Structure 1
């Protein structure tokens, strides 16, 4: 049996999901996800019309990415010591 290209999600369910999976959860969980996992969350949020929230998830995840990771911000992690200045 072939899977459909789209699914129907009741509006109330979509609203509850986007509220539950909001900025606070993104801040707590985003850094723990792999790049692929956060991309999947972001894609679902985009499909629900939540582009700004998808960006929040990517940004929060990126705070823990390393140099070789997809979402790396180009800066050291906040928990890493800053090298001493001469």
Structure 2
């Protein structure tokens, strides 16, 4: 049996919610975010923000941004809340 588009969307949404609930922890962000690339932390933060964890998304950006010490780095001296708000879909 092939899943319908709605069933797949439902499954992906459920998986995203579980992912976000798991990675919303500030302690995890502090330990992991500095080792991620800018693109990786943006992707993770996008899932967090779009599943209702906007504060956690900003926390991940802030925890990662502390290691971006070059002006050319994406998260160098950005306001995490404003940064997350610029690419939110909802």
Shift of 1:8: 2.8
Tell me which stretches of 4 or more aligned residues in structure 1 moved more than 2 Å.
16-20
Report the aligned-residue RMSD.
2.5
Shift of 1:28: 0.2
- Checking the alignment, whether the CA contact within 8 Å between 2:26 and 2:59 is kept in structure 1 is yes
Alignment match of 2:33 (pick from 25, 30, 38): 30
Unaligned 5+ segments in structure 1 are 75-86
Partner of 1:8: 13
Aligned length: 68
Alignment match of 1:70 (pick from 69, 74, 77): 74
Unaligned 5+ segments in structure 2 are 79-90
TM-score by length of 2: 0.64
Which whole-Å CA distance do the structure 1 matches of 2:59 and 2:20 have between them? 12
Shift of 1:26: 0.3
Q: Does 1:54 align with 2:38?
A: no
Shift of 1:19: 4.3
Instruction: Return the index of the structure with the highest Cα Rg.
Output: 1
